[in-house]
């Protein structure tokens, strides 16, 4: 069983985490087939990111308003349109060798559509432990829930996979973010449906770390990976060898 090295890094600036992803992707692209996979779990300060299909038409703030509200804006190399990251949202960046994972399932090459469905299933299984029924919405990537206002997105997903089959970027699960920050964009370019959070659905507070155990259990079940979990002692340096506390079971 392959190893998934996981770190909970707390609140991390977007650029810092993006650089860490790039370092881990490069390392996994060049190392032996037995090297471990990685999962970075963290929060970001308020940040809007536009993917390869993004358009500034879906950002409803100008540069001065972004600065006045301390929002960061970044164009990134994942798929998808515009999304928001901020406190109260669990962000997960799986850095996986998908060639190895899918070879273990009998595939000749990675199936990226199936990988997206797998990430959705991770979120769906994690939500189920809190009596929240997440589901897939045909034609849209991500995880949705029913609400009195109709279907609303509770988790966004956007990925990149390089020519070596190494994944980056990943998912953003709305645990208890400021949902007002989503009103400054047209999330993922979807105008006809809203965005929600776990705390809004269940009408009670949650913490980000409440979600770590069920997320890791789902990764183990879906990807057949052995989980190694660590927490940052202090703000990690985000090199290939971050400073971490001793191993813990979430």
- Which DSSP string do the residues of the chain spell out, in sequence order? -EEEEEEEEEE--HHHHHHHHHHHHHHHHHS-TTPPEEEEEEE-SSEEEE-TT--GGGB-S-HHHHHHTT-EEEE-SSSSSEEEE-TTEEEEEEE-BHHHHHHTTT-SS--HHHHHHHHHHHHHHHHHTTT---B--TT--SEEE--TTS-EEEEEEEEEE-TTSBEEEEEEEESS--GGGGGGB-GGG--SSEE--HHHHHTS---GGGGHHHHHHHHHHHH-EEEEEEEBSSS---SSS--B-S----
- Its sign, for the CA torsion 138, 84, 76, 73, is positive
Identify the CA nearest to 211 among candidates 49, 45, 88: 88
Establish whether 188 is a catalytic residue: yes
Q: Tell me the pLDDT tens digit for each residue of 122-144.
A: 999 999 999 999 999 998 999 99
Beta strands at 47-50 and 82-85: parallel, antiparallel or unpaired: antiparallel
**250 assigned to some structural domain:** no
**237 assigned to some structural domain:** no
Catalytic entry in 25, 124, 188, 211: 188
6 is in which domain, residue-wise? 2-231
Q: What is the pLDDT of residue 249?
A: 41
Q: How many domains does the chain have?
A: 1
Q: How far is CA 208 from CA 9, 32, 135, 176, 198, in A?
A: 11, 34, 21, 8, 11
Identify the CA nearest to 98 among candidates 15, 37, 13: 37
159 near 170, Cβ under 8 Å? yes
Q: What is the pLDDT of residue 206?
A: 96
Q: Tell me the pLDDT tens digit for each residue of 51-107.
A: 887 788 888 889 999 999 999 999 998 988 889 999 999 999 999 999 999 999 999
Q: What is the pLDDT of residue 246?
A: 36
**217 assigned to some structural domain:** yes
Q: Tell me the pLDDT tens digit for each residue of 13-65.
A: 999 999 999 999 999 998 767 789 999 999 999 999 998 877 888 888 899 99
193 near 211, Cβ under 8 Å? no
**239 assigned to some structural domain:** no
**11 assigned to some structural domain:** yes
170 near 179, Cβ under 8 Å? no
Predicted TM-score (pTM) of the model is 0.91
Q: Which CATH number do you get for residue 35?
A: 3.30.930.10
**248 assigned to some structural domain:** no
């Amino acid at each position: 069983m392959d190893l998934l090295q996981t770190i909970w890094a707390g609140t991390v600036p977007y650029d810092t985490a993006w650089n860490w992803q790039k370092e881990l992707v490069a390392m996994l692209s060049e190392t032996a087939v037995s090297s471990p996979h990685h999962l970075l779990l963290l929060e970001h300060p308020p940040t809007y990111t536009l993917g390869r299909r993004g358009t500034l038409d879906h950002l409803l703030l100008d540069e001065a308003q972004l600065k006045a509200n301390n929002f960061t804006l970044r164009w990134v190399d994942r798929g998808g349109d515009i999304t928001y990251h901020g406190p109260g949202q669990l962000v997960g960046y799986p850095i996986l060798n998908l060639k190895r994972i899918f070879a273990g399932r009998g595939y000749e090459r990675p199936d990226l559509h199936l990988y997206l469905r797998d990430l959705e299933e991770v979120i769906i299984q994690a939500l189920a432990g809190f009596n929240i029924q997440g589901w897939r919405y045909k034609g849209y990537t991500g995880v949705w829930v029913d609400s009195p206002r109709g279907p609303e997105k509770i988790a966004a997903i956007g990925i990149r996979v390089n020519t070596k089959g190494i994944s980056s970027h990943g998912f953003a699960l709305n645990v208890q973010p400021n949902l007002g920050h989503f009103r400054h964009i047209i999330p993922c370019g979807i105008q006809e449906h809203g965005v929600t959070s776990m705390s809004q659905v269940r009408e009670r507070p949650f913490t980000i770390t409440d979600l770590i155990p069920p997320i890791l259990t789902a990764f183990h079940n879906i990807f057949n990976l052995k989980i190694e979990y660590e927490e940052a002692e202090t703000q990690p340096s985000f090199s290939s060898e971050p400073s971490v506390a001793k191993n813990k079971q979430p």
